[in-house]
Chain A
């Protein structure tokens, strides 16, 4: 909120000036999905296997992780910026873009609805990075963005959302790291 991510000290860690960056001793890494993959692989032997058990299962995880990045995230990011942050960040909220983004996201969620009617989680019958990657921004969608109906009106998407958002790890995350007032 104070623009710290655009200051030289942070740009030395992450040259695009965005968050997050993870620093572990001398090792540093940015891009949240790259960090997720690294952590899931490094700690594969503990907790749930978030990358699937086989190369083929991992392929399905990567597929839905990429769907989140390329297809789900962009319209939802527009909604997040223009509904939640426009006034705070000082730019005019674009109503036309909000309408178009909601329509795009609705079309994507229709595909998810059909897929989740045949599959418990995105990559199969196991929870994976692909499901977790959807948590933060969908939490915005059903909360401060005020469009919970987009999830609730779709039976299987709604059941999937209830399932992944009730995971203890996510609840702990929300408790410990709530949005600054």
Chain B
């Protein structure tokens, strides 16, 4: 029996888990939850994820939600196979956790509303909050400067190896890179550009993009 992931393969949070599965060489099955028809808010899915979001996993009797928690669980459980995503020591793992948490608190808080306004709302025929997006982009530039500085002296966010800290950024980064002026912001920063090119050249990422129809 393989783990079932409930979600949409094109959505960022399910992609975070899928990328972890691919890096760790874990077999999985995707059960499509249609976000365009708000299937995630319907009673059947609310039993799996009471906040009405994707993804959720079922692995036999074991159930979990929150994509970052799911990714950490599988990275821990399968620490002996595939890519080591959690560092080489307890101290290194904590630095991986540190930069993974930075993604939640500094990066995603900006990336998420930008993507909602510039990618999702147009698709749903809703109006974009132009003033908000302008403000978010200014804040994003400041955060990217901090990342640029970090990547100037570190090949990857948590040191000299690819870890969960880098992986967790990738799904939302990919959406941001599809927005012209943000793409330019990243490319204008030598180390961010180098980092993004290197991590998107990874075979697991390329497989994910094929799955997502990109």
Contacts and interface: CB of A to CB of B under 8 A. Distances in A.
B51 A15 contact: no
Nearest to B77: A55
Contacts of B106: 16
A56 interface: yes
A34 B97 contact: yes
Interface stretch (A66-74, A84-92, A142-150, A163-171): A66-74
Given A27-B91, A34-B98, A37-B94, A15 B149 contact: yes
Q: Chain A interface residue count: which class?
A: 20 to 34
B81 to A, nearest CB: 14
B69 A62 contact: yes
Nearest to A70: B104
Contact of B98 (A29, A59, A67, A114): A29
A31 B66 contact: no
B76 A31 contact: no
Given A34-B101, A58-B76, A111 B50 contact: yes
Given A55-B73, A59-B69, A115-B50, A31 B64 contact: no
B150 A15 contact: yes
Given A15-B146, A62-B68, A69 B94 contact: no
A58 B93 CA distance: 15
A106 interface: no
B1 interface: no
Interface in B66-82: 66, 68-70, 72-73, 76-77
B68 A66 contact: yes
Nearest to A55: B77
Interface of A: 15-16, 27, 29-31, 33-35, 37-38, 41-42, 55-56, 58-60, 62-63, 65-67, 69-71, 74, 108, 111, 114-115
Q: Which 7 A-B pairs have the closest CB atoms?
A: A62-B69, A38-B94, A59-B73, A66-B66, A34-B97, A31-B101, A34-B98
Interface of B: 50-51, 62, 64-66, 68-70, 72-73, 76-77, 90-91, 93-95, 97-98, 100-102, 104-106, 109, 143, 146, 149-150
